[in-house]
Chains A and B, each alone.
Chain A
């Protein structure tokens, strides 16, 4: 971290932001002042405390069902971050395996995997999301699945290129000549060499998935209520922008700042770990 921070003040900013969001996510039960899903229709659309009608009972105001925006925001950090990290992780696992297999084995397997990548890239996300929800039902888990389907391709592409190159490298050729098993070679020698770029891509993909969650929520395909996610809060607040802007402004800011933080951190990681990767991502 220190090595990172030394490089650029922006990385420090990124690290601080991500750190704060993680603290909010982990400490949500302690930090929240109310139950994030407890509605009270007698106090709907109350403004933040620094407005005249606001009060410290609801520091960032209340939404259309009288729920505490601050508490929803804190719990939202937990849920938004969890599903984004999970989706990016799931996508990374699938993509890394696909990319390694394609690059290492080459030939027909490679061709098939890369065409599946093309297919996925050419396929409308919304149709995919609708189909998954229609078949598996709306839930947090299925949203993670949908989003991971949209993120594995980039790992597959990058990893394929890297493992293609690594395959030809002398040390890999050498262990292979010694009779090592393919899986062993990949696990022992190829994977460690490609970890840094995976980490960088993964960081940036987490940021992208957070944005995607908000877009899916906007289209009504996000997490079912009353679960607070930032995307959902933003989508709900859209109807109240001119009368109760705070409902949408705070989750919007949260998304913006968090994604910014993750991107800054990702950039820093990239500079530190693998300057060559700049071109590819």
Chain B
């Protein structure tokens, strides 16, 4: 077991390292930022000078080595665009993104558990159809589309929620919903399946046979059992959620890491891109690691491969 954990941690570090190599390579291949950093009046000589000053004319290997030497010390360089160290710039935006994604996850769980339980306990009946219909709709709607629709409806037509930005709790409602909707769909189906499975187990049937109330059986036996796969999936979905947050943060101008990163990518602000990819990859890998370890801990039958 200890050996397994050690191996997993080592490979996790290797994955983060590999992500940084690949992202470095890809950003390098998307072209250097000279043309967008300089005004149109810049001459060919001035563009070349800019490249030289920032080291963009060095061979790829030299640039990568320079990047790596600093990165291991936690220094991803100064943002080309903002003139400030990139890691603190990203770190300052983490709370906003965490607030958004955690709210979205909680929202998804809070909606999915009752929906899934209702569907399972009414299997094959109208309520099941309705609950699954809701879940399927959630899985089928493009979330940026939903986001814009919500702005038009809740902010413009009815004026009950703020249009964008971050501030009071009302600001997080629409972006969190837009992110939560797809996850909610996935989780609802998961809960339904899990509850159905548990309900057909012998001990639950016994409990039912003893005349325990249906709701109690579900709450005491079925839901806790359904929560294990639920947490696993939420963990594994974290990467996708962060990815989805990019689009949603852009639409709502939510001042998080996703928005900052896409701006950096579009502006070829390499140091910020590197720092951000590093932080996001670490977060995803870390959560996957924790989920995997949890899994082993919860279910020792799982092959330690």
Contact = CB atoms under 8 A, between A and B. Distances in A.
Direct contact of A and B (CB under 8 A): yes
Nearest to B289: A118
A252 interface: yes
Given A118-B15, A134-B31, A214 B229 contact: no
Nearest to B247: A215
B280 A115 contact: no
Given A106-B305, A134-B31, A123 B22 contact: yes
Interface residues of B, number: 50
Interface stretch (B74-82, B140-148, B216-224): B140-148
B193 A122 contact: no
A267 B19 CA distance: 34
Interface in B167-194: 189-190, 193-194
Interface residues of A, number: 42
Contacts of A257: 140
A111 B141 contact: no
B55 interface: no
A243 interface: no
B152 A241 contact: yes
Contact of B27 (A10, A111, A127, A264): A127
A207 interface: yes
A60 B19 CA distance: 46
Interface string A125-149: 1111011001100000000000000
Contact of A259 (B12, B15, B139): B139
Interface stretch (B61-69, B105-113, B129-137, B205-213): B129-137
Interface of B: 11-12, 14-16, 18-19, 22-23, 26-27, 29-31, 129, 132-133, 136-137, 139-145, 148, 152, 189-190, 193-194, 229, 239, 243, 246-247, 261-262, 265-266, 273, 277, 280-281, 284-285, 288, 303, 305
9 contacts: A10-B132, A119-B18, A122-B19, A126-B243, A127-B277, A128-B26, A255-B140, A257-B140, A259-B140
Query: What 10 A-B pairs come out closest when comparing CB atoms?
Result: A131-B26, A259-B140, A134-B30, A122-B284, A260-B140, A122-B281, A278-B193, A118-B15, A214-B142, A121-B239
